[in-house]
Amino acid sequence: MSVSDSAPLSESSSTLPTEGRRRVQVDAVAPEVDGGRFPVRREVGERLVVEASVFADGHDRVAAVLLHRPTGHRSWTETLMEPLGNDRWRADFSLDGLGRMEYTVLGWVDAFRTWAADLAQWIGAGVDVSLQLEEGARLVEAAVDRAEGDDAAQLEGWVERLRAWSTEPGLADDPSPLATDAGPLSGTLPSLMARYPDRSLSSRYDRILEVAVDRERARFSAWYEFFPRSTAGEAGGHGTFRDAQRMLPYIREMGFDVVYLPPIHPVGRVRRKGPNNRVDSAPGDPGSPWAIGAAEGGHTAIHPELGSLRDFLEFREEAETQGLEVALDVAFQCAPDHPWVKAHPEWFRHRPDGSIRHAENPPKKYEDIFPLDFESEDWPGLWKALHGVFTFWMDQGVRIFRVDNPHTKALPFWEWVIEELKEKDPGVILLSEAFTRPAMMYRLAKLGFTQSYTYFAWRNTRRELVEYMEELTTTEVREYFRPNFWPNTPDILTEALQVGGRPAFMARLVLAATLSSNYGIYGPAFELMEHRPREPGSEEYLDSEKYQFRQWELDRADSLHPFIARVNRIRRENPALQRNDTLHFHPLDNEKLLAWSKQDREGENRMVMVVNLDPHHTQSGWLELDHLVLGMDPEESYQVHDLLAGGRYLWEPGRNFVQLDPRISPAHIFRVTRRLRTEGDFEYY
Amino acid sequence: MSVSDSAPLSESSSTLPTEGRRRVQVDAVAPEVDGGRFPVRREVGERLVVEASVFADGHDRVAAVLLHRPTGHRSWTETLMEPLGNDRWRADFSLDGLGRMEYTVLGWVDAFRTWAADLAQWIGAGVDVSLQLEEGARLVEAAVDRAEGDDAAQLEGWVERLRAWSTEPGLADDPSPLATDAGPLSGTLPSLMARYPDRSLSSRYDRILEVAVDRERARFSAWYEFFPRSTAGEAGGHGTFRDAQRMLPYIREMGFDVVYLPPIHPVGRVRRKGPNNRVDSAPGDPGSPWAIGAAEGGHTAIHPELGSLRDFLEFREEAETQGLEVALDVAFQCAPDHPWVKAHPEWFRHRPDGSIRHAENPPKKYEDIFPLDFESEDWPGLWKALHGVFTFWMDQGVRIFRVDNPHTKALPFWEWVIEELKEKDPGVILLSEAFTRPAMMYRLAKLGFTQSYTYFAWRNTRRELVEYMEELTTTEVREYFRPNFWPNTPDILTEALQVGGRPAFMARLVLAATLSSNYGIYGPAFELMEHRPREPGSEEYLDSEKYQFRQWELDRADSLHPFIARVNRIRRENPALQRNDTLHFHPLDNEKLLAWSKQDREGENRMVMVVNLDPHHTQSGWLELDHLVLGMDPEESYQVHDLLAGGRYLWEPGRNFVQLDPRISPAHIFRVTRRLRTEGDFEYY
């Protein structure tokens, strides 16, 4: 049936509404972001669960359907909503394709169910229901016109039966025979009538909401960032894509699925930075890859020393063969010798002396970088050029971009360009590298970024981690913001990693990888536990790869490579860790220990993590697991299996003891299963 | 300036927006109800405080104004918003008139302030700022065109000065003289430039929000309900308006300001109910006033035994003379002999045998009541007739209505009719008597009801009261739902009052009158502590006035009349008690004691209430008052004066002891003042 003629619920106006009999109210539809201004975000294969308050005046029963359709389609698909009590209704629909879908809620007074419920009461009270039976006959008679095929005939039969009962003298004295299986309340009539409701006076929620559906990797991904130019090995000098290709098995073995490369474009020569961000460079210094553009080209060119476009494509193909997707860095800024500076001076801000204004944050100056001017008169030209950068690389098969500092570019541009890119490939993924204030970080996600960097790197204590995770997973933020947790980046060597040694690297990895379904590391610095800052108090790496080549001893005996591989394998094998929406923290009587659980959508895969936040001392305590959260019987004992260290424990209802020596393992990653009945039930990992 | 050309912030579309350079984002504007679908509610004389997140990309400074105007006006008034930090901005505007006002937020990049802040940094760093000075000159030059009168000439002077400085050789070496009072940063230039910002690329929040402004009584009122027909006194029989007039001084002395009368219309004779809701009545039984309508007339007629319309008007005028406003009961339902039943049978639902369907909630039947059918084909006629009932009584000078069971009438009707009535008199007040599920109660408030009955009658324990008050005063509910707390009504004699004796009546009164700025009692039953239920387990009064006359011994020695008078006087004299938005509960280590505070908008009048919820035993405990909530110095001691019982105490920082013997007084109502310095500083009450 068509519902397009359903007017909004009610109208404020000094004249009568066109139709005043739409008695049902639809209120508080969830999820909804900013009153429907932005879509909620989900992934293919998930179901969108929608709730609404649906009610009418009086004691009449109401019914409701969830309406949904791909955005742009005219006709709605309907899913009947189930009552949850207290006027709240719920339904869901599956997100089978990429792109956007619309949804809203429609409700109406269900005259037949109201009649049936009343009739049951009257029969129970033993009163004469002959008039009620005739009223029922009329309701069914009206439904005959709406019914199709055989149903119409069946309904006609019911009309006759109801009329016959209504005049049957014996029933007037004792209506109880009507309550039997053959009666109007429990036979085929209710289901028949449910198929043909009278929805002429239905009310629709006054807004149409949207869900943006991304591919699964938007929710579940493990990123590995490295500098291809540092892969020359013992030969030294500038590594190439061919050298970098040799890294791929090493990365694959660790279990990552996204390989993210810092900018691969020609590096500016003008005012090039030297090692450790020195103002001037010596011949042979490679400069910062984020100083993009030189005579050889700009954002769509390949740095000649890395190789050719063909070399890049080979690298990308080889990565894909190994199950790794390549993500490129998009940094919209230019070195002074970027071709755009000459070709499009109007895209930059000029100073009174005619020079182009370089980046600055007074009193700091960044002379090797020219920012783009989003207030340029030719902003349309600039937008199209930037759009062209994305599409160029998409045409080379790249579908994931890490966007550098999006919060320093005009936000209307992002909303426009992301929409455009999704038109081209709805599977495109953009990671927002904004480390700034919350309103901006969240707004970028609302405007379309698929994933976002976070404050995780600076959340170390239990209270900090719990508060932050609850903000991300229990507030409206969860509907649109997908966190991607990085324990380190080329810009961020946290104090925790500088001083905490191996246990800190292990703990921070487990936290990132199991608190958040999206995470990443900057390697090989991470697995080789690089921890020397440029100077005390700095978060910059000493001898940072941002400004020089590094040679990494990948096969070092103490490398975290096997540990990371194990964590990533646990993530892949346990769907509970592939989502954040079931995250729950559990009480533990030692502030240095953090305990939380996650489970998959079906509640079949249940994981409990415990991390020792103190890298220096063994910590122990009593964990009170909330069985109900995990959908388990609170009276039953159960088996927990530490997939990280290998131990198995039988846990009793109530409190259980945990202890973690950081020198051995700073974390447990438990899979929780029902108590084994015999030794044969043991599951082996 | 005109802002009507400000397009929404940004647009999703596959074509470029008309203007892509509106870099400022406006997000999270508060207050906002349901994405702007409903207005927030406030009262005349208040200020509406509006907050928004306003920010732009990069490090540029932004500025924002709150735009506001009476709904229907074209031009906006602007109030500059103040930054609160973390991208949050705030401003307020005064609500000077009744009716609706619109508001929204406009932001822009403030190029001059950005320039000035940068310049200060450069000067501090001691670098050559000649180019910056020329850039500033250009910004000021552009502002000359926007400036008016003398300001333009002043700005031109600044352009010259900036240019002179920019070429002054000494300043290139040492810019510090520019940081003096005569320089561009601290002289008249910043305030001049603030007056003429370049707002050509401003962004406006994508919605226009509304505030509905009611008169003060919407927020602060004390209601007294009584049955005029029970005022015949020793004469017995049917009291008249003239008899009822004699009650007015008694009510005024108690300090109420609204006198609310149950329906005053002719009472149906057909199937009239007898005492204690007996199915049949004896001759002389007055019937229920809610069975409205008989041969003498319906909803616009006066019950002849009460008197004439002229008598009613005299009653209303005398009440007003005494400072009491009369509220009428609007119960849209009909006795079988209501004139509409014959004149407009189409406004009722008919059964198959042609009879009109009476009210029922199976298995209960209410044969003396015909509900109106809001699905009538002639719903426009019905709506207009009901609208006419309100306007008839408004024409008789009535401005307050208590609406009986609005949740059993179609909600689109309420939204329409309340809007209509406010057109006629924006000071009209409607109290919603809906005791039903939360979604419906809140929706009625959103749709326009000024005040609402609540679950207060059934909230007795500390936890129940705290949870409910926090829902009402700290969630979005506070923006549109004004609670009116009733410890009793003719329909509700709670178990707490049945068994708790005098202390329960006193405690429930203090709770109602000081937790909520709107409250009411049904008297004289309340002050005379009537507590006998019709039968055990029932909340109905025995010998309820709903079905029979009662004679009340108003001058009984144990009447709560003086106690209520004192509580109402405290409410009138302490503005803190005339609002709910500052309510805060304070820790007290005895669950039987509830402690909370309120203060006025200026924070000058501070009240602390403590109530013993146990009517049978003395309870004591340690109260930890949160001084910061009350805007007081946490290190200082202070004076508290119990306005109810008269005691004065000097309280120390930290915990203070409280004890309440319910037989003496179950409550403290403290006014908190700074510690007195000498005996001369004592304030006397």
**What is the rounded CA–CA span in Å between residue B386 and residue B374?**
11
Tell me the pLDDT tens digit for each residue of A458-491: 999 999 999 999 999 999 999 999 999 999 999 9
| Substitution target from A21, A159, A204 for chain B, most B beta carbons within 10 A | A21
Residues present in chain A in total: 685
Task: Read off φ and ψ for residue A438, nearest 5 degrees.
Answer: -60, -40
Residue A3: pLDDT band (50, 70, 90) is: very low
Token pair 């590995």: residue: A224
Helix (H, G, I), strand (E, B) or coil at A232: coil
Give the predicted TM-score (pTM) of the model: 0.94
Sequence-ordered list of residues with C-beta below 8 angstroms from that of A4, at least 6 positions apart, any chain: none
pLDDT of residue A236: 77
Mean pLDDT within A185-214: 95
**What is the rounded CA–CA span in Å between residue A399 and residue B547?**
77
Tell me the pLDDT tens digit for each residue of B537-546: 999 999 999 9
Mark yes or no for CB contact B375/A125 under 8 Å. Answer: no
Query: Which has the closest alpha carbon to B546: B511, B527, B522?
Result: B522
Query: Which has the closest alpha carbon to A452: A432, A473, A476?
Result: A432
Q: Which of A228-237, B176-185, B583-592 has the highest mean pLDDT?
A: B583-592
Nearest CB partner across the interface for A410, out of B53, B57, B125: B57
Nearest CB partner across the interface for B16, out of A351, A408, A416: A416
> What DSSP character marks residue B218?
G
Mean pLDDT within A505-509: 98
Would you say A66 and A102 are in contact if contact means Cβ atoms under 8 Å apart? no
Residue B632: pLDDT band (50, 70, 90) is: confident
The total of other beta-carbon atoms located within 10 Å of residue B174's CB is 11
Has residue A12 got a pLDDT over 50? Answer: no
Has residue A429 got a pLDDT over 70? Answer: yes
Tell me the pLDDT tens digit for each residue of A649-670: 999 888 999 999 999 999 999 9
pLDDT of residue B683: 53
pLDDT of residue B572: 98
Residue A7: pLDDT band (50, 70, 90) is: very low
Residue A167: pLDDT band (50, 70, 90) is: very high
Token pair 């703990």: residue: A507
The region of weakest confidence among A81-95, A222-236, A533-547 is A222-236
Q: What percent of chain A has pLDDT over 90?
A: 88
Q: Which chain B residues touch A176 with a CB distance below 8 Å?
A: none
Mark yes or no for CB contact B380/A58 under 8 Å. Answer: no
ipTM value = 0.93
Would you say B638 and B612 are in contact if contact means Cβ atoms under 8 Å apart? no
Query: Which has the closest alpha carbon to A632: A648, A646, A652?
Result: A652
Q: Which amino acid is at B158?
A: W
pLDDT of residue B487: 98
pLDDT of residue A550: 94
Q: Which chain B residues touch A420 with a CB distance below 8 Å?
A: 14
**Lookup: tokens for A501:** 């040694």
> What DSSP character marks residue A81?
P
Has residue A94 got a pLDDT over 50? Answer: yes
Mean pLDDT within A355-375: 91
What is the β-pairing status of strands B40-43 and B209-214? Answer: parallel
Burial tier of B334 (Cβ tally within 10 Å: 0-12, 13-18, 19+): buried
The total of other beta-carbon atoms located within 10 Å of residue B589's CB is 11
Sequence-ordered list of residues with C-beta below 8 angstroms from that of B212, at least 6 positions apart, any chain: B39, B40, B41, B42, B99, B100, B448
Q: How far is B356 from chain A (nearest CA, A)?
A: 12
The overall average pLDDT reported for chain B is 94
Query: Which has the closest alpha carbon to A261: A2, A27, A33, A523?
Result: A523
Has residue A685 got a pLDDT over 60? Answer: no
pLDDT of residue A233: 81
Q: How far is A424 from chain B (nearest CA, A)?
A: 11
pLDDT of residue B675: 65
Q: How far is A130 from chain B (nearest CA, A)?
A: 10
Tell me the pLDDT tens digit for each residue of B304-337: 999 999 999 999 999 999 999 999 999 999 999 9
Mark yes or no for CB contact A410/B131 under 8 Å. Answer: no
Sequence-ordered list of residues with C-beta below 8 angstroms from that of A519, at least 6 positions apart, any chain: A221, A222, A223, A484, A485, A486, A487, A512, A513
Tell me the pLDDT tens digit for each residue of B151-182: 999 999 999 999 999 999 889 889 999 998 88
Residue A683: pLDDT band (50, 70, 90) is: low
pLDDT of residue B10: 41
Q: Which domains does chain B have, with CATH numbers?
A: 11-109+205-213 (2.60.40.10), 112-195 (1.20.58), 226-428 (3.20.20.80), 584-684 (2.60.40.1180)
Has residue A675 got a pLDDT over 70? Answer: no
Would you say A101 and A213 are in contact if contact means Cβ atoms under 8 Å apart? yes
Tell me the pLDDT tens digit for each residue of B610-621: 999 999 999 999
Mark yes or no for CB contact B20/A361 under 8 Å. Answer: no
Residue B676: pLDDT band (50, 70, 90) is: low
Q: Which chain B residues touch A57 with a CB distance below 8 Å?
A: 374, 407-411, 440
**What is the rounded CA–CA span in Å between residue B431 and residue A463?**
45
The overall average pLDDT reported for chain A is 94
| Substitution target from B9, B16, B26, B364 for chain A, most A beta carbons within 10 A | B16
Has residue B13 got a pLDDT over 80? Answer: no
Q: Which chain A residues touch B443 with a CB distance below 8 Å?
A: 25, 27, 53, 55
**What is the rounded CA–CA span in Å between residue A269 and residue B457?**
78
Mark yes or no for CB contact B411/A23 under 8 Å. Answer: yes
Residues present in chain B in total: 685
Has residue A6 got a pLDDT over 60? Answer: no
Has residue B8 got a pLDDT over 70? Answer: no
Nearest CB partner across the interface for B415, out of A12, A37, A407: A12
Mark yes or no for CB contact B415/A131 under 8 Å. Answer: no
Has residue A544 got a pLDDT over 60? Answer: yes
Query: Which has the closest alpha carbon to A107: B154, B370, B439?
Result: B439
- Pick the residue from chain A with its C-alpha nearest to B57: A408
Which comes out higher in pLDDT, residue B652 or B30?
A: B30
Residue A242: pLDDT band (50, 70, 90) is: very high
pLDDT of residue B3: 39
Would you say B290 and B265 are in contact if contact means Cβ atoms under 8 Å apart? no
Residues of A forming the active site: 404, 433
B405, B408, B410, B416 alpha-carbon torsion, rounded to 10°: 0
pLDDT of residue A383: 98
**What is the rounded CA–CA span in Å between residue B517 and residue B526?**
19
A245, A251, A256, A260 alpha-carbon torsion, rounded to 10°: -50
Sequence-ordered list of residues with C-beta below 8 angstroms from that of B587, at least 6 positions apart, any chain: B595, B623, B624, B626
> Largest Cα–Cα distance in chain A?
110
Nearest CB partner across the interface for B383, out of A16, A87, A419: A16
The region of weakest confidence among A130-139, A163-172, A591-600 is A163-172
Tell me the pLDDT tens digit for each residue of A298-330: 999 999 999 999 999 999 999 999 999 999 999
Mean pLDDT within B191-206: 96
- Pick the residue from chain B with its C-alpha nearest to A8: B412
What is the β-pairing status of strands A606-612 and A648-651? Answer: unpaired
Q: Which chain A residues touch B131 with a CB distance below 8 Å?
A: 351-353
Tell me the pLDDT tens digit for each residue of B419-435: 999 999 999 999 999 99
Has residue B678 got a pLDDT over 60? Answer: no
Has residue A349 got a pLDDT over 80? Answer: yes
Mark yes or no for CB contact A351/B122 under 8 Å. Answer: no
Residues of B forming the active site: 404, 433
| Substitution target from B11, B14, B19, B21 for chain A, most A beta carbons within 10 A | B21
Mark yes or no for CB contact A412/B23 under 8 Å. Answer: yes
**What is the rounded CA–CA span in Å between residue B390 and residue B299?**
9
**Lookup: tokens for B446:** 């959103």
Please write down the HEC assignment for all residues of A243-262: HHHCCHHHHHHCCCCEEEEC
Query: Which has the closest alpha carbon to A641: A651, A631, A632, A633?
Result: A651
Has residue B684 got a pLDDT over 60? Answer: no
Has residue B635 got a pLDDT over 90? Answer: no
Mean pLDDT within A101-115: 97
pLDDT of residue A320: 98
> What DSSP character marks residue B665?
-
Tell me the pLDDT tens digit for each residue of B516-525: 999 999 999 9
Tell me the pLDDT tens digit for each residue of B87-121: 999 999 999 999 999 999 999 999 999 999 999 99
Q: What percent of chain B has pLDDT over 70?
A: 96
Tell me the pLDDT tens digit for each residue of B436-464: 999 999 999 999 999 999 999 999 999 99
